[in-house]
A and B are shown apart, each in its own frame.
Chain A
Amino acid sequence: MMHYVKVTLGVLLGVTVFLFLDYALPSKNTVRITNTYNRLTDIGANAIFYASNDTGTVENAAGQRDIRFIETVRPNGKVFVYRNEDTGWIWPPYFKYDSSNLQAEATNYRSDANNPQWVSVTAYGWRIPFLSVYPNAISMKPVASSQESPLNWPAMLILAVLGAFLALIWRMWNQFRERTIDPTARKVSDAVDRADARADAAMDRVSQEFTEARQGFTGWLDTWKGKPRDPKR
């Protein structure tokens, strides 16, 4: 039973970490930009997938936010829509505050199917149409063809740093266990053993003294029957 609970919790943790990294790490996609625009957008329960309120976002009295969007087409012909919001100095830590410039770049790279200009867009996040969730574009770079997809080295670098970090924490924890927890546990168990031994010795002495007292009393009673007392006592 306990085993299944542990396995379930471990799998849940793994899935959570994977989803978190999948959402927060940058990804690169080669696309062709077809349109760029601003749109008043209702943000409700899906607010977690949008920029924080204090990153230079603009909202009207009805609580709608003016958000920049970038419409694109992928090499396979399917469409893909990015939002373009500042992350500011908050989460996720992209420290992006140039969404106006990015929007201008995107507009500059607009092209049609006859004369395509392919760009590699770096973005984080998911596209979930059901919840009106869009990935946030971070930067873009023109590429020669639709087949070209630059190496996603930022994500690799972040994963490597995270791995090194985990290894460091693992080593620190092991050192702490070896040098602090284990000796303390040994000391406590030794103390318990000693207390145990002392208690045993005390019990032995009590029972021995009781036996001696009883033997002394029986010996004295026996003198009434004319038996000689044990000379040892």
Chain B
Amino acid sequence: MAIIRLALILFVIEAIFYALLTVYLRSTKTEALEEEWDRRHPERAGDSEERRAFVRRSMVGFQKTLKARLVALVFVIPTIVIAVIAWVVNVQ
């Protein structure tokens, strides 16, 4: 029973961090794109409809990139860490 409870709690925490990391990565990517636009068009720097359209276009398919997909590792790594700790503590 305890192991099921552990799995549930772990999953909830992992899901929270998955959501937070996804939002964080999207935010940094958006910021980088805005800076890219300002660098390319110094005369049209700053917030504008054009720049928002550029960012929207460039963000298409972002969740398919390797960086965005690696966020799913938050579901994998803690499980591996727990397995390793359990192995080190009990088997060695």
Kindly provide the distance from the CB of B6 to the nearest chain A CB, expressed in whole angstroms: 4
Whether the pair A98, B89 counts as a contact (CB closer than 8 A) is yes
User: Closest chain B residue to A171 by CB distance?
Assistant: B24
Interface presence of A231 (CB below 8 A)? no
Whether the pair A94, B24 counts as a contact (CB closer than 8 A) is no
A139 to B6, CA, bound (A): 23
Q: Mark A72-107, 1 if CB is under 8 A from B, else 0.
A: 000000000000000011100111111001000000
Q: A96 and B89 in contact (CB under 8 A), knowing A175-B27, A175-B28, A179-B31?
A: yes
Interface presence of B92 (CB below 8 A)? yes
Using a CB-CB cutoff of 8 Å, which residues 168-211 of chain A contact chain B? 171-172, 175-176, 179
**Contact of B90 (CB < 8 Å), options: A90, A95, A175:** A95
Q: Mark B4-28, 1 if CB is under 8 A from A, else 0.
A: 0110000000000000110010011
Q: How many residues of A contact B (CB 8 A)?
A: 19
A228 to B32, CA, bound (A): 72
Interface presence of B1 (CB below 8 A)? yes
Q: Residues of A contacting B66 with CB < 8 Å?
A: none
Interface presence of A22 (CB below 8 A)? no
What bracket does the count of chain B residues touching chain A fall in? 10 to 19
Interface presence of B45 (CB below 8 A)? no
Interface presence of B68 (CB below 8 A)? no
Interface presence of B2 (CB below 8 A)? yes
Q: A95 and B92 in contact (CB under 8 A), knowing A90-B6, A176-B27?
A: no
Q: Residues of A contacting B28 with CB < 8 Å?
A: 175
A179 to B28, CA, bound (A): 9
Using a CB-CB cutoff of 8 Å, which residues 111-154 of chain A contact chain B? 138-139
Q: Residues of B contacting A93 with CB < 8 Å?
A: 82, 85
Interface residues of B (CB under 8 A from A): 1-3, 5-6, 20-21, 24, 27-28, 30-31, 82, 85-86, 89-90, 92
Interface residues of A (CB under 8 A from B): 54-55, 88-90, 93-98, 101, 138-139, 171-172, 175-176, 179
A-B pairs with beta carbons under 8 Å apart, 21 shown? A55-B2, A88-B2, A89-B2, A89-B5, A90-B2, A93-B85, A94-B85, A94-B89, A95-B82, A95-B90, A96-B89, A96-B90, A97-B90, A101-B90, A138-B89, A139-B92, A171-B24, A172-B21, A172-B24, A176-B27, A179-B30
